[in-house]
Structure 1
Protein backbone atom coordinates (compact mmCIF):
# COMPACT_ATOMS: atom_id res chain seq x y z
CA UNK A 1 0.00 0.00 0.00
CA UNK A 2 1.35 3.45 -0.93
CA UNK A 3 1.02 6.74 1.01
CA UNK A 4 -2.19 7.80 -0.73
CA UNK A 5 -3.82 4.43 -0.15
CA UNK A 6 -2.91 4.57 3.55
CA UNK A 7 -4.36 8.07 3.87
CA UNK A 8 -7.63 6.91 2.24
CA UNK A 9 -7.79 3.96 4.66
CA UNK A 10 -7.50 6.42 7.53
CA UNK A 11 -10.31 8.57 6.09
CA UNK A 12 -12.62 5.56 5.83
CA UNK A 13 -11.93 4.25 9.34
CA UNK A 14 -12.32 7.69 10.94
CA UNK A 15 -15.65 8.32 9.18
CA UNK A 16 -17.05 5.03 10.44
CA UNK A 17 -15.87 5.56 14.02
CA UNK A 18 -17.23 9.12 14.16
CA UNK A 19 -20.75 7.88 13.34
CA UNK A 20 -20.67 5.16 16.00
CA UNK A 21 -19.20 7.41 18.70
CA UNK A 22 -21.53 10.31 17.99
CA UNK A 23 -24.66 8.13 18.04
CA UNK A 24 -23.56 6.40 21.25
CA UNK A 25 -22.56 9.68 22.92
CA UNK A 26 -25.86 11.42 22.14
CA UNK A 27 -27.96 8.41 23.25
CA UNK A 28 -25.98 8.13 26.49
CA UNK A 29 -25.65 11.85 27.18
CA UNK A 30 -21.92 11.22 27.79
CA UNK A 31 -19.51 14.11 27.26
CA UNK A 32 -16.51 11.74 27.31
CA UNK A 33 -17.93 9.66 24.44
CA UNK A 34 -18.96 12.80 22.52
CA UNK A 35 -15.45 14.20 23.11
CA UNK A 36 -14.09 11.05 21.50
CA UNK A 37 -16.41 11.65 18.52
CA UNK A 38 -15.03 15.20 18.26
CA UNK A 39 -11.49 13.79 18.51
CA UNK A 40 -12.22 11.38 15.65
CA UNK A 41 -13.83 14.22 13.69
CA UNK A 42 -10.62 16.19 13.90
CA UNK A 43 -8.71 13.04 12.94
CA UNK A 44 -10.94 12.70 9.88
CA UNK A 45 -10.22 16.26 8.82
CA UNK A 46 -6.51 15.63 9.45
CA UNK A 47 -6.66 12.46 7.34
CA UNK A 48 -8.28 14.36 4.46
CA UNK A 49 -5.62 17.08 4.73
CA UNK A 50 -2.89 14.40 4.80
CA UNK A 51 -4.33 12.73 1.70
CA UNK A 52 -4.36 15.91 -0.38
CA UNK A 53 -0.99 17.12 0.93
CA UNK A 54 0.62 13.80 -0.02
CA UNK A 55 -0.87 14.11 -3.52
CA UNK A 56 0.46 17.65 -3.79
CA UNK A 57 3.89 16.72 -2.42
CA UNK A 58 4.29 14.01 -5.08
CA UNK A 59 4.18 16.56 -7.88
CA UNK A 60 7.53 17.08 -9.62
CA UNK A 61 9.49 20.32 -9.42
CA UNK A 62 8.31 23.13 -11.67
CA UNK A 63 9.22 26.74 -12.45
CA UNK A 64 7.38 28.02 -9.36
CA UNK A 65 8.66 25.25 -7.07
CA UNK A 66 12.17 24.38 -8.32
CA UNK A 67 12.91 22.33 -5.19
CA UNK A 68 9.70 20.30 -5.49
CA UNK A 69 6.51 20.30 -3.42
CA UNK A 70 7.68 18.21 -0.45
CA UNK A 71 7.02 20.88 2.17
CA UNK A 72 3.28 20.62 1.57
CA UNK A 73 3.52 17.62 3.91
CA UNK A 74 5.16 19.73 6.61
CA UNK A 75 2.51 22.43 6.27
CA UNK A 76 -0.13 19.72 6.56
CA UNK A 77 1.45 18.38 9.76
CA UNK A 78 1.52 21.84 11.36
CA UNK A 79 -2.10 22.56 10.38
CA UNK A 80 -3.24 19.18 11.74
CA UNK A 81 -1.57 19.95 15.07
CA UNK A 82 -3.50 23.23 15.33
CA UNK A 83 -6.76 21.40 14.62
CA UNK A 84 -6.01 18.87 17.35
CA UNK A 85 -5.36 21.67 19.86
CA UNK A 86 -8.68 23.35 18.99
CA UNK A 87 -10.52 20.04 19.42
CA UNK A 88 -8.98 19.56 22.86
CA UNK A 89 -10.05 23.06 23.89
CA UNK A 90 -13.63 22.33 22.83
CA UNK A 91 -13.64 19.05 24.78
CA UNK A 92 -12.44 20.78 27.96
CA UNK A 93 -15.12 23.47 27.56
CA UNK A 94 -17.90 20.87 27.21
CA UNK A 95 -16.53 18.83 30.13
CA UNK A 96 -16.52 21.84 32.46
CA UNK A 97 -20.13 22.59 31.47
CA UNK A 98 -21.04 18.99 32.33
CA UNK A 99 -19.35 19.28 35.74
CA UNK A 100 -21.30 22.48 36.51
CA UNK A 101 -24.70 21.24 35.32
CA UNK A 102 -24.18 17.57 36.28
CA UNK A 103 -26.42 14.84 34.87
CA UNK A 104 -26.54 11.06 34.57
CA UNK A 105 -25.53 8.72 31.77
CA UNK A 106 -27.85 6.20 30.11
CA UNK A 107 -27.15 3.07 28.05
CA UNK A 108 -23.55 2.82 29.29
CA UNK A 109 -23.16 -0.59 27.63
CA UNK A 110 -23.39 1.00 24.17
CA UNK A 111 -20.55 3.38 24.98
CA UNK A 112 -18.41 0.61 26.43
CA UNK A 113 -18.78 -1.44 23.23
CA UNK A 114 -18.11 1.47 20.88
CA UNK A 115 -15.00 2.60 22.80
CA UNK A 116 -13.51 -0.90 22.86
CA UNK A 117 -14.09 -1.38 19.12
CA UNK A 118 -12.66 2.11 18.45
CA UNK A 119 -9.48 1.35 20.41
CA UNK A 120 -8.93 -1.94 18.56
CA UNK A 121 -9.61 -0.47 15.10
CA UNK A 122 -7.37 2.56 15.68
CA UNK A 123 -4.56 0.36 17.01
CA UNK A 124 -4.65 -1.67 13.79
CA UNK A 125 -4.93 1.35 11.44
CA UNK A 126 -2.32 3.47 13.26
CA UNK A 127 0.19 0.59 13.27
CA UNK A 128 -0.26 0.19 9.52
CA UNK A 129 0.10 3.93 8.93
CA UNK A 130 3.22 4.17 11.11
CA UNK A 131 4.80 1.34 9.12
CA UNK A 132 4.07 3.01 5.77
CA UNK A 133 5.07 6.47 7.08
CA UNK A 134 8.44 5.09 8.19
CA UNK A 135 8.95 3.29 4.88
CA UNK A 136 8.07 6.37 2.80
CA UNK A 137 9.42 8.96 5.28
CA UNK A 138 6.11 10.84 5.14
CA UNK A 139 5.60 13.60 7.74
CA UNK A 140 1.90 13.98 6.88
CA UNK A 141 1.20 10.26 7.20
CA UNK A 142 3.20 10.04 10.43
CA UNK A 143 1.11 12.90 11.86
CA UNK A 144 -2.07 11.07 10.85
CA UNK A 145 -0.80 7.85 12.44
CA UNK A 146 0.06 9.69 15.65
CA UNK A 147 -3.47 11.10 15.83
CA UNK A 148 -4.95 7.63 15.56
CA UNK A 149 -2.48 6.17 18.05
CA UNK A 150 -3.52 8.86 20.54
CA UNK A 151 -7.10 7.76 19.90
CA UNK A 152 -6.17 4.25 21.02
CA UNK A 153 -5.27 5.48 24.51
CA UNK A 154 -8.11 7.96 24.81
CA UNK A 155 -10.73 5.47 23.61
CA UNK A 156 -9.44 2.80 25.97
CA UNK A 157 -9.36 5.34 28.80
CA UNK A 158 -13.00 6.25 28.18
CA UNK A 159 -13.80 2.52 27.95
CA UNK A 160 -12.33 1.86 31.41
CA UNK A 161 -13.98 4.99 32.81
CA UNK A 162 -17.42 3.91 31.61
CA UNK A 163 -16.96 0.50 33.25
CA UNK A 164 -16.14 2.23 36.55
CA UNK A 165 -19.18 4.52 36.18
CA UNK A 166 -21.41 1.51 35.44
CA UNK A 167 -20.56 -0.11 38.75
CA UNK A 168 -20.05 2.96 40.97
CA UNK A 169 -22.63 5.40 39.48
CA UNK A 170 -20.15 8.25 40.06
CA UNK A 171 -21.21 10.24 37.00
CA UNK A 172 -18.79 13.13 37.53
CA UNK A 173 -16.08 10.75 36.33
CA UNK A 174 -17.44 11.21 32.79
CA UNK A 175 -16.38 14.88 32.32
CA UNK A 176 -13.19 14.26 34.32
CA UNK A 177 -12.22 11.50 31.87
CA UNK A 178 -13.03 13.87 28.99
CA UNK A 179 -10.62 16.47 30.39
CA UNK A 180 -7.88 13.83 30.75
CA UNK A 181 -8.50 12.84 27.12
CA UNK A 182 -8.19 16.50 26.08
CA UNK A 183 -4.89 16.95 27.94
CA UNK A 184 -3.45 13.92 26.14
CA UNK A 185 -4.60 15.40 22.83
CA UNK A 186 -2.89 18.72 23.65
CA UNK A 187 0.37 16.88 24.38
CA UNK A 188 0.18 15.16 20.98
CA UNK A 189 -0.57 18.53 19.36
CA UNK A 190 2.55 20.14 20.84
CA UNK A 191 4.77 17.26 19.71
CA UNK A 192 3.36 17.35 16.17
CA UNK A 193 3.83 21.12 15.95
CA UNK A 194 7.48 20.84 16.98
CA UNK A 195 8.18 18.13 14.40
CA UNK A 196 6.43 19.92 11.54
CA UNK A 197 8.01 23.31 12.25
CA UNK A 198 11.54 21.86 12.41
CA UNK A 199 11.43 21.06 8.70
CA UNK A 200 9.55 24.26 7.77
CA UNK A 201 12.36 26.38 9.25
CA UNK A 202 14.99 24.23 7.46
CA UNK A 203 16.44 22.56 10.53
CA UNK A 204 19.43 20.35 9.75
CA UNK A 205 18.99 16.61 9.34
CA UNK A 206 19.38 14.53 12.54
CA UNK A 207 22.97 14.35 13.77
CA UNK A 208 23.20 10.61 13.05
CA UNK A 209 22.31 11.23 9.38
CA UNK A 210 24.79 14.10 9.12
CA UNK A 211 27.47 11.75 10.51
CA UNK A 212 26.62 9.17 7.82
CA UNK A 213 27.21 11.85 5.16
CA UNK A 214 30.49 12.97 6.74
CA UNK A 215 31.79 9.41 7.08
CA UNK A 216 31.08 8.72 3.40
CA UNK A 217 32.93 11.86 2.28
CA UNK A 218 35.91 11.14 4.55
CA UNK A 219 36.41 7.60 3.22
CA UNK A 220 37.55 8.92 -0.19
CA UNK A 221 41.26 9.70 -0.10
CA UNK A 222 40.94 11.99 -3.13
CA UNK A 223 38.98 14.43 -0.96
CA UNK A 224 41.54 16.48 0.95
CA UNK A 225 38.90 18.33 3.00
CA UNK A 226 35.28 19.45 2.97
CA UNK A 227 33.29 22.37 4.37
CA UNK A 228 29.94 24.19 4.14
CA UNK A 229 27.99 20.97 4.62
CA UNK A 230 24.33 22.00 4.72
CA UNK A 231 21.31 19.72 5.08
CA UNK A 232 17.56 20.10 5.41
CA UNK A 233 14.33 18.14 4.99
CA UNK A 234 11.43 18.88 2.62
CA UNK A 235 8.64 16.35 3.12
CA UNK A 236 10.28 12.97 2.53
CA UNK A 237 13.13 14.54 0.55
CA UNK A 238 16.59 15.15 2.04
CA UNK A 239 18.48 18.07 0.52
CA UNK A 240 22.25 18.08 0.96
CA UNK A 241 24.95 20.36 -0.37
CA UNK A 242 28.64 20.40 0.45
CA UNK A 243 31.92 21.89 -0.77
CA UNK A 244 34.81 19.44 -1.18
CA UNK A 245 38.47 20.14 -1.94
CA UNK A 246 40.63 17.95 -4.17
CA UNK A 247 44.25 18.04 -5.24
CA UNK A 248 44.96 20.64 -7.91
CA UNK A 249 46.09 17.95 -10.34
CA UNK A 250 42.71 16.17 -10.29
CA UNK A 251 41.18 16.07 -13.78
CA UNK A 252 37.64 17.21 -14.44
CA UNK A 253 36.60 13.67 -15.41
CA UNK A 254 38.08 12.18 -12.21
CA UNK A 255 36.41 14.86 -10.07
CA UNK A 256 33.08 14.24 -11.81
CA UNK A 257 33.33 10.46 -11.34
CA UNK A 258 34.25 10.87 -7.68
CA UNK A 259 31.26 13.14 -7.05
CA UNK A 260 28.99 10.54 -8.66
CA UNK A 261 30.36 7.82 -6.38
CA UNK A 262 29.85 9.99 -3.28
CA UNK A 263 26.31 10.87 -4.35
CA UNK A 264 25.41 7.24 -5.07
CA UNK A 265 26.71 6.08 -1.71
CA UNK A 266 24.85 8.80 0.20
CA UNK A 267 21.63 7.97 -1.69
CA UNK A 268 22.01 4.28 -0.80
CA UNK A 269 22.49 5.13 2.86
CA UNK A 270 19.85 7.90 2.96
CA UNK A 271 17.17 7.25 0.31
CA UNK A 272 15.45 10.11 -1.48
CA UNK A 273 18.43 12.43 -1.06
CA UNK A 274 19.13 15.27 -3.49
CA UNK A 275 22.80 16.21 -3.37
CA UNK A 276 24.80 19.14 -4.70
CA UNK A 277 28.60 18.94 -4.51
CA UNK A 278 30.74 21.98 -5.20
CA UNK A 279 34.35 21.14 -6.11
CA UNK A 280 37.25 23.39 -5.09
CA UNK A 281 41.02 23.12 -5.64
CA UNK A 282 43.04 22.23 -2.58
CA UNK A 283 44.82 25.61 -2.34
CA UNK A 284 41.64 27.73 -2.55
CA UNK A 285 41.05 29.85 0.54
Structure 2
Protein backbone atom coordinates (compact mmCIF):
# COMPACT_ATOMS: atom_id res chain seq x y z
CA UNK A 1 0.00 0.00 0.00
CA UNK A 2 1.49 3.39 -0.96
CA UNK A 3 2.20 6.12 1.58
CA UNK A 4 -0.49 8.60 2.51
CA UNK A 5 -0.92 11.73 4.63
CA UNK A 6 -1.23 9.69 7.82
CA UNK A 7 1.69 7.39 6.96
CA UNK A 8 4.37 9.55 5.30
CA UNK A 9 6.91 6.72 5.44
CA UNK A 10 4.52 4.19 3.98
CA UNK A 11 3.15 0.99 5.49
CA UNK A 12 6.31 -1.12 5.36
CA UNK A 13 6.29 -1.86 9.08
CA UNK A 14 3.08 -3.82 8.64
CA UNK A 15 5.31 -6.50 7.12
CA UNK A 16 7.24 -6.76 10.38
CA UNK A 17 3.96 -7.24 12.29
CA UNK A 18 2.89 -9.89 9.78
CA UNK A 19 6.25 -11.61 10.17
CA UNK A 20 5.91 -11.53 13.96
CA UNK A 21 2.54 -13.29 13.67
CA UNK A 22 4.06 -15.88 11.32
CA UNK A 23 6.94 -16.42 13.73
CA UNK A 24 4.53 -16.87 16.63
CA UNK A 25 2.56 -19.47 14.65
CA UNK A 26 5.77 -21.33 13.77
CA UNK A 27 6.94 -21.27 17.38
CA UNK A 28 3.50 -22.44 18.57
CA UNK A 29 3.60 -25.30 16.06
CA UNK A 30 6.96 -26.40 17.47
CA UNK A 31 5.60 -26.36 21.00
CA UNK A 32 2.55 -28.37 19.87
CA UNK A 33 4.78 -30.94 18.16
CA UNK A 34 6.79 -31.41 21.36
CA UNK A 35 3.62 -31.64 23.45
CA UNK A 36 2.10 -34.28 21.16
CA UNK A 37 5.34 -36.25 21.04
CA UNK A 38 5.49 -36.26 24.84
CA UNK A 39 1.88 -37.41 25.02
CA UNK A 40 2.56 -40.25 22.58
CA UNK A 41 5.65 -41.22 24.54
CA UNK A 42 3.63 -41.53 27.74
CA UNK A 43 0.52 -43.04 26.15
CA UNK A 44 1.67 -44.99 23.06
CA UNK A 45 -1.05 -46.18 20.76
CA UNK A 46 -1.33 -48.68 17.96
CA UNK A 47 -0.33 -47.40 14.52
CA UNK A 48 -1.98 -48.85 11.40
CA UNK A 49 -1.53 -48.37 7.62
CA UNK A 50 1.96 -46.91 7.94
CA UNK A 51 2.73 -47.13 4.21
CA UNK A 52 -0.31 -45.15 3.12
CA UNK A 53 0.19 -42.59 5.86
CA UNK A 54 3.84 -42.01 4.90
CA UNK A 55 2.90 -41.52 1.23
CA UNK A 56 0.18 -38.98 2.00
CA UNK A 57 2.28 -37.09 4.54
CA UNK A 58 5.31 -37.13 2.22
CA UNK A 59 3.29 -35.60 -0.63
CA UNK A 60 2.18 -32.79 1.68
CA UNK A 61 5.79 -32.18 2.75
CA UNK A 62 7.00 -31.83 -0.84
CA UNK A 63 4.22 -29.38 -1.74
CA UNK A 64 4.84 -27.26 1.39
CA UNK A 65 8.59 -27.16 0.78
CA UNK A 66 8.19 -26.05 -2.86
CA UNK A 67 5.68 -23.34 -1.92
CA UNK A 68 7.94 -22.21 0.92
CA UNK A 69 10.96 -22.08 -1.39
CA UNK A 70 9.05 -19.95 -3.92
CA UNK A 71 7.82 -17.59 -1.19
CA UNK A 72 11.32 -17.17 0.29
CA UNK A 73 12.83 -16.55 -3.13
CA UNK A 74 10.23 -13.91 -3.97
CA UNK A 75 10.64 -12.36 -0.53
CA UNK A 76 14.41 -12.16 -0.93
CA UNK A 77 14.06 -10.62 -4.39
CA UNK A 78 11.53 -7.99 -3.32
CA UNK A 79 12.93 -7.41 0.17
CA UNK A 80 9.63 -8.53 1.73
CA UNK A 81 10.03 -9.91 5.23
CA UNK A 82 6.39 -11.05 5.23
CA UNK A 83 6.91 -13.29 2.18
CA UNK A 84 10.18 -14.62 3.57
CA UNK A 85 8.52 -15.44 6.90
CA UNK A 86 5.60 -17.16 5.16
CA UNK A 87 8.09 -19.25 3.22
CA UNK A 88 9.91 -20.23 6.40
CA UNK A 89 6.55 -21.10 7.98
CA UNK A 90 5.68 -23.44 5.12
CA UNK A 91 9.12 -25.03 5.18
CA UNK A 92 8.93 -25.50 8.95
CA UNK A 93 5.74 -27.49 8.30
CA UNK A 94 7.82 -29.59 5.93
CA UNK A 95 10.44 -30.23 8.61
CA UNK A 96 7.79 -31.36 11.10
CA UNK A 97 6.37 -33.64 8.41
CA UNK A 98 9.82 -35.09 7.76
CA UNK A 99 10.09 -35.78 11.48
CA UNK A 100 6.81 -37.70 11.37
CA UNK A 101 7.92 -39.72 8.33
CA UNK A 102 11.33 -40.49 9.87
CA UNK A 103 9.67 -41.57 13.08
CA UNK A 104 7.18 -43.77 11.27
CA UNK A 105 9.92 -45.36 9.15
CA UNK A 106 12.14 -46.16 12.12
CA UNK A 107 9.17 -47.39 14.09
CA UNK A 108 8.11 -49.75 11.30
CA UNK A 109 11.64 -51.12 11.03
CA UNK A 110 12.43 -51.54 14.72
CA UNK A 111 9.00 -51.91 16.22
CA UNK A 112 9.87 -49.39 18.97
CA UNK A 113 6.97 -46.98 19.37
CA UNK A 114 8.99 -44.43 21.36
CA UNK A 115 11.27 -43.59 18.37
CA UNK A 116 8.48 -41.62 16.70
CA UNK A 117 8.09 -39.38 19.75
CA UNK A 118 11.81 -38.73 20.19
CA UNK A 119 12.35 -37.79 16.54
CA UNK A 120 9.27 -35.54 16.55
CA UNK A 121 10.47 -33.79 19.73
CA UNK A 122 13.88 -33.10 18.17
CA UNK A 123 12.31 -31.52 15.11
CA UNK A 124 9.92 -29.61 17.36
CA UNK A 125 12.92 -27.93 19.00
CA UNK A 126 14.24 -26.99 15.56
CA UNK A 127 10.86 -25.51 14.59
CA UNK A 128 10.79 -23.46 17.80
CA UNK A 129 14.24 -22.06 16.96
CA UNK A 130 13.03 -21.13 13.46
CA UNK A 131 10.04 -19.30 14.96
CA UNK A 132 12.29 -17.47 17.40
CA UNK A 133 14.51 -16.24 14.57
CA UNK A 134 11.52 -14.95 12.60
CA UNK A 135 10.18 -13.10 15.65
CA UNK A 136 13.64 -11.71 16.46
CA UNK A 137 14.05 -10.34 12.92
CA UNK A 138 10.58 -8.78 12.92
CA UNK A 139 11.12 -7.09 16.30
CA UNK A 140 14.46 -5.73 15.07
CA UNK A 141 12.60 -4.12 12.16
CA UNK A 142 9.89 -2.68 14.39
CA UNK A 143 12.53 -1.20 16.72
CA UNK A 144 14.59 0.17 13.77
CA UNK A 145 17.61 -1.86 14.80
CA UNK A 146 20.63 -1.11 12.63
CA UNK A 147 21.30 -3.73 9.98
CA UNK A 148 25.08 -3.89 10.24
CA UNK A 149 25.50 -6.20 7.25
CA UNK A 150 23.52 -3.78 5.08
CA UNK A 151 25.55 -0.83 6.41
CA UNK A 152 28.85 -2.59 5.71
CA UNK A 153 27.78 -3.39 2.16
CA UNK A 154 26.60 0.16 1.49
CA UNK A 155 29.70 1.84 2.96
CA UNK A 156 31.96 -0.51 1.00
CA UNK A 157 30.21 0.44 -2.25
CA UNK A 158 30.38 4.17 -1.50
CA UNK A 159 34.05 3.87 -0.56
CA UNK A 160 34.86 1.97 -3.75
CA UNK A 161 33.10 4.53 -5.98
CA UNK A 162 33.97 7.68 -4.04
CA UNK A 163 34.06 10.82 -6.20
CA UNK A 164 36.72 13.49 -5.74
CA UNK A 165 34.07 16.08 -4.81
CA UNK A 166 32.87 13.87 -1.95
CA UNK A 167 35.18 15.22 0.72
CA UNK A 168 33.49 13.39 3.57
CA UNK A 169 30.53 11.20 4.52
CA UNK A 170 29.14 11.08 8.04
CA UNK A 171 25.95 10.68 10.11
CA UNK A 172 24.89 7.75 7.90
CA UNK A 173 21.60 6.08 8.84
CA UNK A 174 19.89 3.24 6.98
CA UNK A 175 16.41 1.94 7.84
CA UNK A 176 14.41 -0.61 5.89
CA UNK A 177 10.59 -0.52 5.90
CA UNK A 178 9.39 -3.57 4.00
CA UNK A 179 11.01 -3.32 0.57
CA UNK A 180 11.72 0.43 0.88
CA UNK A 181 15.17 1.57 1.93
CA UNK A 182 15.52 4.89 3.75
CA UNK A 183 19.01 6.42 3.73
CA UNK A 184 20.02 9.56 5.63
CA UNK A 185 23.52 11.00 5.59
CA UNK A 186 25.64 14.15 5.51
CA UNK A 187 27.78 14.56 2.40
CA UNK A 188 30.59 17.09 2.56
CA UNK A 189 31.39 18.84 -0.73
CA UNK A 190 33.66 21.83 -1.52
CA UNK A 191 32.33 24.86 0.32
CA UNK A 192 32.30 27.05 -2.76
CA UNK A 193 29.83 24.80 -4.64
CA UNK A 194 26.48 26.42 -5.34
CA UNK A 195 23.19 24.68 -4.60
CA UNK A 196 22.94 23.16 -8.08
CA UNK A 197 26.47 21.76 -7.98
CA UNK A 198 25.95 20.25 -4.52
CA UNK A 199 22.65 18.73 -5.65
CA UNK A 200 24.35 17.20 -8.68
CA UNK A 201 26.74 15.35 -6.35
CA UNK A 202 23.76 14.11 -4.32
CA UNK A 203 22.15 12.84 -7.53
CA UNK A 204 25.30 10.87 -8.33
CA UNK A 205 25.26 9.39 -4.83
CA UNK A 206 21.58 8.43 -5.15
CA UNK A 207 22.13 6.84 -8.57
CA UNK A 208 25.00 4.77 -7.19
CA UNK A 209 22.95 3.47 -4.25
CA UNK A 210 19.94 2.72 -6.46
CA UNK A 211 22.11 0.80 -8.91
CA UNK A 212 23.18 -1.53 -6.10
CA UNK A 213 20.10 -1.67 -3.85
CA UNK A 214 17.15 -1.14 -6.23
CA UNK A 215 14.77 1.66 -7.06
CA UNK A 216 12.72 1.42 -3.84
CA UNK A 217 14.87 4.01 -2.13
CA UNK A 218 14.28 7.21 -0.19
CA UNK A 219 17.39 9.33 0.16
CA UNK A 220 17.71 12.32 2.47
CA UNK A 221 21.10 13.97 2.15
CA UNK A 222 22.28 17.07 3.99
CA UNK A 223 25.08 18.70 2.01
CA UNK A 224 27.88 20.25 4.09
CA UNK A 225 30.54 22.66 2.95
CA UNK A 226 34.07 21.50 3.68
CA UNK A 227 36.30 23.27 6.22
CA UNK A 228 40.00 23.98 5.85
CA UNK A 229 41.08 21.40 8.43
CA UNK A 230 39.83 18.78 5.97
CA UNK A 231 42.27 19.79 3.23
CA UNK A 232 44.78 17.05 4.22
CA UNK A 233 42.18 14.34 3.44
CA UNK A 234 40.57 16.06 0.44
CA UNK A 235 41.49 14.38 -2.87
CA UNK A 236 40.19 17.13 -5.16
CA UNK A 237 43.10 17.89 -7.47
CA UNK A 238 42.06 21.28 -8.89
CA UNK A 239 40.73 22.90 -5.72
CA UNK A 240 41.17 26.71 -6.11
CA UNK A 241 40.94 27.42 -2.36
CA UNK A 242 43.13 24.68 -0.88
CA UNK A 243 44.89 25.82 2.30
CA UNK A 244 46.82 22.63 3.12
CA UNK A 245 48.45 19.94 1.01
CA UNK A 246 46.77 16.57 0.63
CA UNK A 247 48.35 14.10 3.06
CA UNK A 248 46.38 10.89 3.42
CA UNK A 249 43.23 9.30 2.11
CA UNK A 250 40.49 8.66 4.66
CA UNK A 251 38.88 5.28 4.07
CA UNK A 252 35.16 5.33 4.79
CA UNK A 253 34.15 2.63 7.25
CA UNK A 254 30.96 1.84 9.14
CA UNK A 255 32.47 3.29 12.32
CA UNK A 256 33.46 6.68 10.95
CA UNK A 257 30.45 6.96 8.61
CA UNK A 258 28.06 6.65 11.55
CA UNK A 259 29.71 9.49 13.47
CA UNK A 260 27.81 12.76 13.62
CA UNK A 261 30.82 14.97 12.90
CA UNK A 262 33.08 15.90 10.05
CA UNK A 263 36.34 14.03 9.70
CA UNK A 264 39.89 15.25 9.54
CA UNK A 265 43.34 13.73 9.20
CA UNK A 266 43.09 12.82 12.87
CA UNK A 267 40.67 10.06 11.91
CA UNK A 268 43.32 8.55 9.64
CA UNK A 269 46.05 8.80 12.26
CA UNK A 270 43.94 7.39 15.09
CA UNK A 271 42.69 4.50 13.00
CA UNK A 272 39.61 4.07 15.18
CA UNK A 273 37.30 6.77 13.85
CA UNK A 274 37.94 9.19 16.74
CA UNK A 275 39.59 12.35 15.50
CA UNK A 276 40.89 15.44 17.16
CA UNK A 277 37.98 17.84 17.37
CA UNK A 278 39.77 21.03 18.41
CA UNK A 279 39.76 22.28 14.80
CA UNK A 280 36.14 21.43 14.10
CA UNK A 281 33.52 24.08 13.92
CA UNK A 282 30.08 22.61 13.27
CA UNK A 283 28.80 19.96 10.94
Give the TM bin, normalised by the shorter chain. Answer: 0.7 to 0.9
Please provide the CA RMSD for this pair: 1.9
Structure 1 residue aligned with 2:178? 235
The equivalent of 2:10 in structure 1 is 68
Match of 2:211 in 1: 268
1:223 aligns with 2:166: yes
Instruction: In structure 2, list runs of 5 or more residues that go unmatched.
Output: 228-280
Going from structure 1 to structure 2, the CA distance change for 1:127 and 1:94 (only over 3 Å counts) comes to: closer
Q: Please list the CA deviations of residues 38-76 of structure 1 after superposition, one character each: whole Å capped at 9, or x if unmatched.
A: xxxxxxxxxxxxxxxxxxxxx111122110001111111
8 Å Cα contact 1:213/1:266 also seen in 2: no
- 1:278 — aligned with what? 222
Find 2:100's aligned residue among 140, 158, 173. 158
Pick one of 56, 69, 78 that aligns with 1:127: 69
Measured in 1, the distance between the counterparts of 2:35 and 2:99 equals 19
Q: Does 1:88 align with 2:30?
A: yes
Indicate the residue corresponding to 1:46 in structure 2. none
Could you say which structure has the higher helix fraction? 1
TM-score calculated relative to the size of structure 2: 0.74
Classify 1:162/1:211 alpha carbon distance in 2 versus 1 (closer, same or farther; 3 Å): closer
Q: CA deviation at 1:174?
A: 2.6
Question: 1:91, 1:156 → 2: CA distance?
Answer: 12
User: Post-superposition shift, 1:112?
Assistant: 0.7
- Aligned to 1:212, which of 134, 154, 169? 154
Instruction: Say which is worse superposed, 204-213 or 141-150, in terms of deviation.
Output: 204-213
Conserved? CA contact 1:204–1:233, under 8 Å = no
Offset at residue 205 of structure 1 (A): 3.1
Partners of 2:50 and 2:156 in 1: CA distance: 59
Matches within 5 A, 1:7-156: 59-156=1-98
Partner of 2:114: 172
The CA distance in 2 between the partners of 1:170 and 1:66, in whole Å, is 61
Q: In the superposition, relative to structure 1, how do residues 124 and 84 fare at CA in structure 2: closer, same or farther (>3 Å)?
A: closer
What SS does structure 2 have at the residue aligned with 1:177?
Answer: helix
Query: Once the 2 structures are TM-superposed, how far is the Cα of residue 224 of structure 1 from its aligned partner?
Result: 1.5
Contact 2:165–2:189 (Cα < 8 Å) also in 1: yes
Instruction: Note if contact 1:203-1:233 (Cα within 8 Å) is conserved in structure 2.
Output: no
Deviation (angstroms), 1:253: 0.9
Report the Cα offset of residue 98 of structure 1.
2.2
Question: Do the aligned partners of residues 75 and 208 (structure 1) sit closer, same or farther apart at CA in structure 2, a change above 3 Å counting?
Answer: closer
Task: State the 1:213 CA deviation.
Answer: 4.1
CA distance in 1, matches of 2:181, 2:81: 12
Structure showing greater Rg: 2
Structure 1's unaligned 5+ residue stretches are 1-58
Count of matched residue pairs:
227
1: CA distance, partners of 2:79 / 2:67: 17
Contact 2:22/2:89, CA 8 A, preserved across alignment:
no
- Matched position secondary structure for 1:62: coil
